[in-house]
A = this chain, B = another copy of it.
């Protein structure tokens, strides 16, 4: 009977023992998420930068192509999109992690540079009226795009108009 009890206890223990194992697994998954999200966030940022660079490389861009490029940029940051979800997780995971923060900052800088290429093209076509240097202006466009994550989607049209007015001057 002592053996029986041990056996029963053992079986019960094993039946319960599965739960802690499950918790450990899900804990690991929770811990792994920021790193995965960071890879996702970096990939999405670099893909977006590549698309904008392609647009910026057009030999003779029509004046409307900046609006299209800004729309693409703002849409990519929409709150319900893959980039927003990955960025929110990745930024949380990168807090206090210098290497992770630098990796994210590097991918973000590539996007800012792609925006600067777009704006340099506008400057070349003599359509730039902003009272700012190209790098500062590209930074402002980037942070404006990033704000989309925290705002209702309905505001999207106003944002594009605001950025076009900033770049091209009033009455664009």
Binding site for B on A (CB under 8 A): 1-2, 4-5, 8-9, 12-13, 16, 19-20, 23, 85, 88-89, 91-92, 95, 104-105, 108, 129-132, 136, 139-140, 142-144, 146-147, 149-152, 158, 162, 165-166, 169-170
Contact = CB atoms under 8 A, between A and B. Distances in A.
A95 B105 contact: no
A171 B13 CA distance: 75
B152 A140 contact: no
A149 B95 CA distance: 10
Q: Which 10 A-B pairs have the closest CB atoms?
A: A5-B5, A1-B1, A143-B147, A136-B162, A131-B170, A143-B143, A131-B169, A9-B9, A143-B144, A92-B92
Contacts of A4: 1, 5
15 contacts: A1-B2, A8-B9, A23-B23, A88-B91, A91-B149, A91-B150, A92-B92, A129-B131, A132-B165, A139-B147, A139-B162, A143-B143, A143-B147, A146-B146, A146-B150
